Amino acid sequence: MSATFDDLENLTVQFVERARAATNSGEIALVETELRSKSGPFAALQRSVGQLNPEERGPAGAALQAARASVEAAISESRERVSVIERAQQLDADRLVLGDVPMGGTFPATVGHVSAVARTQDELEDVFVAMGFTVADGPEIETDWYNFEALNIPPAHPARGMWDTLYLEVGEPETVLLRTHTSPVQVRLMQDAVASGTLPIHAVMPGRCFRRDTPDARHLMAFHQIEGLVIDRGITFADLAGVIDAFTKAYFGPDMSSRLRPAFFPFTEPSAEFEITCAICRGAGCRTCSHTGWIELGGCGMVDPAVLAAVGINPEEYSGFAFGFGIDRCAQMRHQIPDMRALIDNDDRFLRQF
Ligand code: PHE
């Protein structure tokens, strides 16, 4: 028994040395397992303590505990040393080297561009500015009065059904809506001109309009119109027809025709629908023009005397014409886009063409 205890110092030195010599956490774990194992040398010594003479037991137990403690100390020192090394090795192994990682995407990023609709609006403005018009705009959120009443469409008038209106607030203090057309800007311009004494008016008013409508090949719920208004002395329907045709040829090309078909709008009298040759089939008939060969661009007519009177312009002295047509529709014809919804679908392959 005592001979075994005589080996304690050697055993301890041996374990401490092994712990210190360890170069990785696996080797350290092996030393620790042996130190604690029930079938290991330290557990055997522990069991033999009970067989010693009673007076030897105390010192033997203490010596064993001290031996264990010094091995544990060597193990934890070693663990600290090895963990520093192993962390450095790990970081080294994880280092990213250019070329290790696939570079996704396109580089440098591509630059966006003005949308087909915005560019069309710019081009339309240019055509009208060249013809002597100025450019104005007005709010997209309008009151019922500007969108309807001042345009000779009283509340509950059946003509309101012509516009599928999106209302924001109904009733007191005022009914507020998303404008269904750019015609309310006409009213604002006439009021301003009367207030500042700057008649006559020759202006176009482009902008966004909204209708509660089901989008199809020729209609969007949020779309763009350009309104035109001329108020002067001696303006006739021939001036209107001349401006429409000059515009058609200037913008779409000299081989394109325009035609006016009798129509009704509460704010113009007489009124007409303004159509141009379908640019997609060149008049032969296709899905886009419902096989008619013509595409309706918008409406027009002579400003109704009641509208002039409502804003304080004397209909005996002044007359005028107005028109309003779709900018998206112009983009569609100009770029021969069979379905207008492509303009808002956000398909990069489509949009990149413009
Ligand atoms: N505002 C009418 C519409 O959107 C078009 C129009 C404008 C008609 C001007 C006549 C005069 O349907």
Taking only the tens place, the pLDDT of each residue in 294-346 is: 999 999 999 999 999 999 999 999 999 999 999 999 998 889 898 999 998 88
Nearest atom of ligand 1 to the alpha carbon of 181: 4
User: 28-42, 58-72, 93-107, 177-191: lowest mean pLDDT where?
Assistant: 93-107
User: 1-10, 15-24, 186-195, 249-258: lowest mean pLDDT where?
Assistant: 1-10
Ligand 1 centroid from CA 266, angstroms: 9
Nearest atom of ligand 1 to the alpha carbon of 182: 1
Average pLDDT over residues 43-54: 89
Report the chain's C-alpha Rg in angstroms: 45
| Amino acid 50: pLDDT | 87
Quick check: 169 pLDDT over 50?
yes
Nearest atom of ligand 1 to the alpha carbon of 163: 12
3-state class of 302 per DSSP? Answer: strand
Residue with the nearest Cα to atom 10 of ligand 1? Answer: 300
Average pLDDT over residues 246-262: 94
Ligand 1 centroid from CA 48, angstroms: 110
Considering the chain, what percentage of its residues have pLDDT values greater than 70? 98
What's the mean per-residue pLDDT of the chain?
A: 92
Average pLDDT over residues 188-207: 97
Distance of CA 74 to the CA centre of its chain: 63
Quick check: 279 pLDDT over 50?
yes
DSSP states of 269-287 as a string? EEEEEEEEE-TTTTTS--T
Nearest atom of ligand 1 to the alpha carbon of 229: 9
Ligand 1 centroid from CA 104, angstroms: 50
Summarize pLDDT for 69-104 with one digit per residue, the tens: 999 999 999 999 999 999 999 999 888 877 777 767
Quick check: 241 pLDDT over 50?
yes
pTM listed for this prediction: 0.69
The residue written with tokens 């983009």 in the block is 331
Average pLDDT over residues 278-296: 91
CB contact set of 338 (below 8 Å; sequence gap of 6+) = 217, 280, 286, 287, 288
Q: Where are the domains of the chain?
A: 3-94, 116-351
Ligand 1: residues with CB < 6 A are: 181, 183, 265, 268, 271, 298-301, 322-324
Residue with the nearest Cα to atom 4 of ligand 1? Answer: 181
3-state class of 39 per DSSP? Answer: coil
Could you please state the CATH topology (level 3) that the domain comprising 116-351 is classified under: BirA Bifunctional Protein; domain 2 (3.30.930)
Confidence of residue 5 (pLDDT cuts 50, 70, 90): confident
In the chain, the amino acid numbered 241 is A
Quick check: 1 pLDDT over 50?
no
Summarize pLDDT for 262-277 with one digit per residue, the tens: 999 999 999 999 999 9
DSSP type of residue 216: B
DSSP type of residue 295: E
| Amino acid 99: pLDDT | 74
| Amino acid 107: pLDDT | 65
Give the span between the Cα atoms of 125 and 350, in whole angstroms: 25
Ligand 1 centroid from CA 162, angstroms: 10
Nearest in space to 247 (alpha carbons), one of 257, 233, 238: 257
| Amino acid 349: pLDDT | 87
